[in-house]
Structure 1
């Protein structure tokens, strides 16, 4: 009985430690784990898209706030969307971003990631984890992760590549789609684009 209690306490402590992981520590651990898998998985190196998607699904997605990302991409139009439309938009945008991220991973060869010191106060709940991607013979590229504290966990809600927001970069396109066919038109457009991307990778 005592052993079970001790085991339960240890499990709780491990969970608490994981939940309170600092945002830069989380990002470093996650990216290191994913890159190690990419480097050593022969199927991924050979371009197996399903293997890459599975890796992203199991290792990465839980650390992203896709509802917030979709709201940012939608801008003020998000407020006029119904609950069902918001759910559909989030699902389709999530699929689009996952495929974009998976494609980026498939291009990984011998890059290294340099993590910059985190500027954060103890009370901060919204931070930027700054990194730089280095590759021999090429200019370094800055990739910064905007993260927000959700409960006890930190989640990514935007990615800045060379200073350009991955999420808000979609805002004008989304606004144009909404002007042409309303929010349902945007949902259909995203769905069709995701089907095309899936077909091109199969």
Structure 2
């Protein structure tokens, strides 16, 4: 799996920008939604010392409350699994979604503690009124280094939802597709569930040691 640790997933996803804590999130505007939630998350991080210290329970709470409502993680997981998704039972799908989500949170939780005053520049948003799949593009300045950070969203009856993220040219879904496919080919759907579960256990153990 391609690794992109310069801007880990959940730090990259909605953790940079200006203060916007009191703003209502307009899910009918893809670029507006990204900008607003960005501000809300960074404000929450700055106000919570436990998140800054890397408390996994508080980081999970933050992700669940302020990120996942605007992300279709089921779609993310489904696309990462590709055609194997249909071979999984509903119970297996649920387990994979939850374990994958926790894997990403645990893997990249340390990045949230490092969020401070990085500056983000949004590129001009271009989309047609009838588009249902769009990309919000941005550049994050981290210690003077520009880092490409893009969000892919699709339109739902409930508004726009993020389902993929691009960091330095590496899209999240593409980065995990090969690893998921290899695990399923070698060990089946249950093997993928077991792999994700064991990886989470390993990360939890290393965090507590």
User: How many Å separate the matches in 2 of 1:65 and 1:199?
Assistant: 29
Distance 2:112 2:196 in 1: 22
Please give the residue correspondences for 1:150-165 in structure 2 after superposition, counting only pairs within 5 Å. 150-165=156-171
Q: Distance in 2 between matches of 1:98 and 1:147?
A: 20
5+ residue gaps in structure 2?
1-23
Task: Look up the match of 2:3.
Answer: none
Alignment of 1:67-78 (within 5 A): 67-78=74-85
Give the drift of 1:101: 4.7
| 1:47 matched to 2:54 | yes
CA distance in structure 2 between the aligned counterparts of 1:152 and 1:47, rounded to whole angstroms: 32
Which position in structure 2 is the counterpart of 1:59?
66
Query: How many residues were matched structurally?
Result: 185
The RMSD of aligned alpha carbons is 1.9
Secondary structure, aligned partner of 2:129: coil
Higher helix share: 1
Change (3 A) 1:121 1:194: same
Cα distance, 1:101–1:127 mapped onto 2, change above 3 Å: farther
1:8 corresponds in structure 2 to none
Corresponding position: 1:171 with 2:182: no
For residues 21-44 of structure 1, what are the alpha-carbon distances to aligned partners after superposition, in whole Å with 9 as ceiling and x for unaligned? 301111000011111222343333
Q: Name which structure has the greater RCO, CA cutoff 8 Å, separation 6+.
A: 2
TM-score, normalised with respect to structure 2: 0.80
Deviation at 1:19, TM superposition (A): 5.6
Match of 2:29 in 1: 22
Q: TM-score under structure 1 normalisation? A: 0.83
Once the 2 structures are TM-superposed, how far is the Cα of residue 18 of structure 1 from its aligned partner? 5.1
Cα separation, 2, equivalents of 1:199 and 1:140: 34
Residue 158 and residue 79 in structure 1: after superposition, are their counterparts in 2 closer, same or farther (change >3 A)?
Answer: same
